[in-house]
Amino acid sequence: MADVFRKMGSMAINGIWQLGFIARFFWLILVYSGQSFTRIHLTLRELYFSGVMSLLIILVSGLFVGLVLGLQGYETLQRYGASDSLGTLVALSLVRELGPVVAGLLFASRAGSAVTAEIGLMKVTEQLKAMDMMAVSPIARVVAPRFWGGVISMPLLAALFSAMGVFGGWLIGVVVIGVDDGAFWAQMQDAVDFRYDVLNGVIKSGVFGVAVALIAVFEGYDCVPTAEGVSRAITRTVVSSALAILALDFVMTSFMFRG
Amino acid sequence: MSRTTMDLWVGVFVAMGIAALFFLALKVGSISGSDIQSPYLLSARFDNIGGLKVRAPVKVAGVLVGRVSEIRYDNERFQAEVVFTVDGRYKFPTDTFANILTSGLLGEQYLGLDPGGEEKLLAPGDVIKKTQSAVVLEKLISQFMFSKAAEGEPAPAK
Amino acid sequence: MSEPLVRLENVRFAYGERAILRGISLSIPRGKVVAIMGGSGCGKTTLLRLIGGQERAVGGRVTVDGQDVAGLGRDALYALRRRMGMLFQFGALFTDMSVFDNVAFPLREHTDLPAELINDLVMMKLHAVGLRGAAKLMPGELSGGMARRVALARTIALDPMLLMYDEPFTGLDPISLGVIGQLIRRLNDALGASSVIVTHDIQESLQIVDYIYFISEGRVVAEGTPDEIRNSADPFVSQFVHAQADGPVPFHYPAGDYATALVGGAG
Ligand SMILES: Nc1ncnc2c1ncn2[C@@H]1O[C@H](COP(=O)(O)OP(=O)(O)OP(=O)(O)O)[C@@H](O)[C@H]1O
Ligand SMILES: [Mg+2]
C-alpha cells in the first residue's frame, strides 16, 4: 500500500519536474528564436517538412470526415425534418472542434513524430554536440525553426481540414442526397459566426500547434541518445501530444463556447 | 529537393491555408456578427424569454440587423432584460414592438422587431417598452388541453 | 609565447559517481602537435570535451589561451569555440546537408563571405582531404573513412587556432592514413595552430607529433617526445608500442571476478 503511494508520489514529482523542464525549454526557444526569422529559409524548410508533407493526409482525412458528417448528420436531421440545417451541423462541428482537434492529432503523428525522430537522431549521431562545438547554438539553429514551422503550419492545416470537411459535407448533402444548395449555405452562414466560431477555432489550432511543436522538439532534444531512446521519445511525442490536445481542447471549449 | 522547389511548395501551402481561412470566414461563417457597422445598444424587457440565448439574431422583417449581446434578470421589475446590438445603419421608431420568435417549429429563438409609426427614433441605450414574451410550448399545450377539458369533451388521446 | 595554449592542472572529472579523470595535468604548447593515447574508454574523448567546455571539470583547472574555460559565460565560450575545431570520433556530419554544405556550414554561420568565396574555400578544404569530387554527395552516401575526411575538412574550415582530432585515423586505409597524418601536421604548421590528436595509432603518431601523453586509469602515466617514447623502457609504453595484450593497460572494463560471474550465472 505504501508502495502505491510512493509510486504515485514519485510520478507526481517527476511530472512536475518534466513540466518545469519543458517550461524552461520553451523559454530558451523564445530567447533563441531570432534566427528563425532573420534567416527565414531555416523556417521555410521546416514549413515544408511539417506543413507541405502533412498536406495530403490532412486534406484526405478532412474530406472523409466531412463525408461521414454529411451522411450521419443527414440521417439524424431528416428525422426531425431539419435536413436544411445539415450545413450548420457540418460546419459548426468542424470549425469549432473536429477541425482543430483531428488536424492536431494527425499533425502530431505525422509531423511531430518526424521532428522528434530527426532531432533525436541528430543527438544520437552527435550532430547537436558538434554544432555546439562550432559555436552554433543547436536551439537557435535546429530546435527553434522546427518549433516555428510547426506553430505556423498547424492553424493552416486545421483551416484546410475544416474547409475540406465542409466541402465533403456539401458533396454528400447537396450533390448526392439532394439537400437544397441555397438552404445548405444560407443556414450555415446564419449560424456560424466569424469571431465566435471561426476565430475561436483558429485560436484553438494555434494553441495546439504550440503544444505539439513544443512537445515534439522537447522530446527529441531530451531523448536518451540511443536507438531505443529515440523510438521511446517518438512514442512519447505522439501520446503526450494527443493528451495535451484533448485536455487543452476541453479547457478552451469550456471558456470559449458558453451559453 | 532544391531550395526553390521547396520554397514554391511552401508558398502554395501557405496560400492554400490562407484561402481556406478566408473560405471559413466568408463562405462558411458570416463576418456580420463582428462586422455590424457602428453598432449601438438597445434593450427590451420581457416577462419570459423562453430559450433565447446570447448571440441570438435580431431580425426585422426577416433581415438580420444585430445580435443579442446580454441577457440579465432585473430583480426590481422581476423581468428579464435583453440587451442587443444593432447595426448603426438601421433606425427604429420609439413604438417598435419586440417579440421573441422561433424560426420553424423547433428552430432557434430570435428577437424580432416590428417597427411602429412614430416619427421619433430610438436612441442608443433606449429601452423598448412594447414587448411580447416568448411562446412557451408547454404552456400552450396545457392551455389547449384545459380549454378542451372545460368544454366537457375527453382530451384527445394523442 | 612560452605560455602553452592549453593547460590542464590536476583536472578531475566524473560521470555521476564514476570517476573518469583523477587528476590530469598536461599542456599543449603553441604550434605543437600533441598526441593523447590510452586504452579504450579511459576518458580521452571526455578530455577533449573538457577543453572545449562541453563538460565542466569537478576539480582542477582547464585554461585555453589564458582563459579558464569553466568560468566562461555562454558568449565568451562561443567566442572561444569559434577559434577551436573539433573532429568528432564518429564524424558527426549533418545528415540533412550535402558534403559541400557540411563543410560550408561554419563559414556560413560565422562569416559574411560572398557565395563564390565560400565555394572556393570549401573546394580547397575538400581538395585537401581528397574529396573534391564528392562535394555533391549526401553523408549517407559516404563510407566511414570518407565521412571522417569530410568531417576533417569541416573542422579546419575556419582555420582555427586549436585543432582537436578525436581518432582521425580509424577507418582509413593505409594510404589516406598517411596523407591525413601529413595533412594534420602541415595544417598545424601552416596555420600556426596547435593540435591535439587522440589516437590509437602509435606508429602514425610517432611520425607526426611533437609530444605524446599516455593516459591510464584517469592519470597521465607516461609522456615524452617520439624519440623518448621509441626508446622508453616503461612497461606501459612498450605495451602500447608493441601492441601486447598483457601489460599495465587492462583490456577489461572494471568488473567482478570472471569465474564468479560465470558460476553465479549458471547457478
Ligand atoms: N554521457 C556519459 N555518461 C556516463 N558515462 C559516460 C558518458 N560518456 C562516456 N562515459 C564513460 O566515460 C568513460 C570515458 O569515455 P570516453 O568516451 O571519454 O572514452 P574514450 O577514451 O574516448 O574511449 P574510446 O577510445 O573508446 O573512444 C567510458 O568508460 C564511458 O563509459
Ligand atoms: Mg572516444
Ligand approaching nearest to the C-alpha of C40: 1
pLDDT at A139: 93
pLDDT at B35: 57
Q: What is the mean pLDDT of chain A?
A: 91
**Which residue from C45, C90, C165, C215 has its CB within 8 A of the most atoms of ligand 1, so it is best to mutate?**
C45
Is residue A127 less than 8 Å (CB to CB) from chain C? yes
pLDDT in tens, C199-215: 888 888 888 889 989 88
pLDDT in tens, B113-122: 888 888 888 8
A115: confidence class by pLDDT, cuts 50, 70, 90: very high
A216: confidence class by pLDDT, cuts 50, 70, 90: very high
Q: Could you tell me if B62 and B90 lie in one domain?
A: yes
pLDDT in tens, C27-66: 999 888 999 988 888 888 888 999 988 888 888 888 888 8
Q: Could you tell me if B10 and B55 lie in one domain?
A: no
Q: Where is pLDDT greater, at B31 or B39?
A: B39
Q: Where is pLDDT greater, at B157 or C137?
A: C137
Q: Could you tell me if B24 and B47 lie in one domain?
A: no
Burial group, residue C82, by CB count within 10 angstroms (0-12, 13-18, 19+): middle
pLDDT at B36: 65
B149 assigned to some structural domain:
no
How far does residue B34's CA lie from ligand 2's centre (Å)?
64
B87 assigned to some structural domain:
yes
C245: confidence class by pLDDT, cuts 50, 70, 90: low
Instruction: State the Cα angle at C185 between C181 and C186, rounded to 5°.
Output: 115
**Which residue from C22, C44, C205 has its CB within 8 A of the most atoms of ligand 1, so it is best to mutate?**
C44
pLDDT at A73 over 70: yes
- Please enumerate in sequence order all residues whose Cβ is within 8 A of that of A237, keeping only pairs 6 or more positions apart, or say none: A108, A112, A113, A115, A116, A215, A216, A219, A220
Closest residue to atom 1 of ligand 1, CA basis: C15
Q: Could you tell me if B71 and B131 lie in one domain?
A: yes
In degrees and rounded to multiples of 5, residue B120 shows phi and psi of: -70, 145
3-state secondary structure chain B: CCHHHHHHHHHHHHHHHHHHHHHHHHHHCECHHHHCCCCEEEEEEECCCCCCCCCCEEEECCEEEEEEEEEEEECCCCEEEEEEEECCCCCCECCCEEEEEECCCCCCEEEEEECCCCCCECCCCCEECCEECCCCHHHHHHHHHHHHHHCCCCCCCC
Burial group, residue B14, by CB count within 10 angstroms (0-12, 13-18, 19+): middle
Q: Could you tell me if B21 and B44 lie in one domain?
A: no
pLDDT at C243 over 70: no
B117 assigned to some structural domain:
yes
Burial group, residue A43, by CB count within 10 angstroms (0-12, 13-18, 19+): buried
Segments making up each domain of chain C, as ranges: 6-266
Q: Could you tell me if B16 and B93 lie in one domain?
A: no
| Among chain A residues, CA nearest to C49 | A133
Q: Could you tell me if B1 and B61 lie in one domain?
A: no
pLDDT at A185: 87
Longest CA–CA span in chain B (Å) reads 89
Burial group, residue B155, by CB count within 10 angstroms (0-12, 13-18, 19+): exposed
For residue A125, give the nearest of C52, C82, C90 by CB distance.
Answer: C90
Please give the C-alpha separations between residue C208 and each of A106, B1, C191, C204, C237, in angstroms, as whole numbers.
57, 43, 16, 7, 18
Looking at this protein, which amino acid is placed at residue A234?
I
For chain C, percent of residues with pLDDT exceeding 90: 12
Domain around B3: 1-30
- Of residues C153, C170, C13, the one with CA closest to residue C87: C153
**Whole-angstrom Cα distance, residue A120 to residue A82?**
52
Is residue B30 less than 8 Å (CB to CB) from chain A? yes
Q: Hey, are the CB atoms on C81 and A126 less than 8 Å from each other? A: no
C233: confidence class by pLDDT, cuts 50, 70, 90: confident
Q: Where is pLDDT greater, at C81 or C259?
A: C81
Is residue A157 less than 8 Å (CB to CB) from chain B? yes
Ligand approaching nearest to the C-alpha of C16: 1
Q: Could you tell me if B45 and B115 lie in one domain?
A: yes
For chain C, percent of residues with pLDDT exceeding 70: 93
Is residue A126 less than 8 Å (CB to CB) from chain C? yes
Across the strands, what pairs with B85? B41, B67
For A57, the 3-state DSSP assignment is helix
pLDDT at A240: 93
Decide if A150 contacts A63 (C-beta within 8 A): no
Is residue B120 less than 8 Å (CB to CB) from chain A? no
Q: Could you tell me if B123 and B70 lie in one domain?
A: yes
- The CATH label, of 2.170.190.11, 3.40.30.10, 1.10.1060.10, 3.40.50.300, for the domain at C6-266 is 3.40.50.300
Average pLDDT for residues C174-196, to the nearest whole number? Answer: 86
pLDDT at C1 over 60: no
Task: Report chain A residues whose CB lies below 8 A from the CB of C79.
Answer: 135
**Which residue from C12, C36, C42 has its CB within 8 A of the most atoms of ligand 1, so it is best to mutate?**
C42
Q: Hey, are the CB atoms on A132 and C54 less than 8 Å from each other? A: yes
Neighbours of chain A (3+ CB pairs under 8 A): B, C
Q: Could you tell me if B109 and B134 lie in one domain?
A: yes
B157 assigned to some structural domain:
no
What residues line ligand 1, using a CB cutoff of 6 Å? C 15, 20, 40-46, 89
pLDDT in tens, B55-91: 788 888 888 888 888 889 988 888 889 999 888 888 8
pLDDT in tens, A232-243: 999 999 999 999
**Whole-angstrom Cα distance, residue A76 to residue A79?**
6
Q: Where is pLDDT greater, at A166 or B31?
A: A166
Ligand 1 atom index nearest CA of C200: 25
Q: Whole-prediction pTM value?
A: 0.81
Q: Could you tell me if B92 and B24 lie in one domain?
A: no
Is residue A48 less than 8 Å (CB to CB) from chain B? yes
Q: Could you tell me if B84 and B43 lie in one domain?
A: yes
B158 assigned to some structural domain:
no
Neighbours of chain B (3+ CB pairs under 8 A): A
CB atoms within 10 A of CB A201: 28
Long-range pairs, C129-132, Cβ under 8 A, ≥24: C129/C153, C129/C180, C129/C183, C130/C176, C130/C179, C131/C99
Tell me which of B28, B67, B71, B108 to substitute to probe the interface with A (most A C-beta atoms closer than 10 Å): B28
**Whole-angstrom Cα distance, residue C199 to residue C39?**
10
Across the strands, what pairs with C220? C215
End-to-end CA distance of chain A: 45
Average pLDDT for residues A77-95, to the nearest whole number? Answer: 88
As a residue count, chain B comes to: 158
Q: Hey, are the CB atoms on B33 and A41 less than 8 Å from each other? A: no
pLDDT at A28 over 50: yes
Closest residue to atom 26 of ligand 1, CA basis: C40
3-state secondary structure C17-40: CEEEEEEEEEEECCCCEEEEEECC
For residue A259, give the nearest of B12, B53, B107 by CB distance.
Answer: B53
C267: confidence class by pLDDT, cuts 50, 70, 90: very low
Looking at this protein, which amino acid is placed at residue A139?
I
pLDDT at C216: 84
- Please enumerate in sequence order all residues whose Cβ is within 8 A of that of B158, keeping only pairs 6 or more positions apart, or say none: none
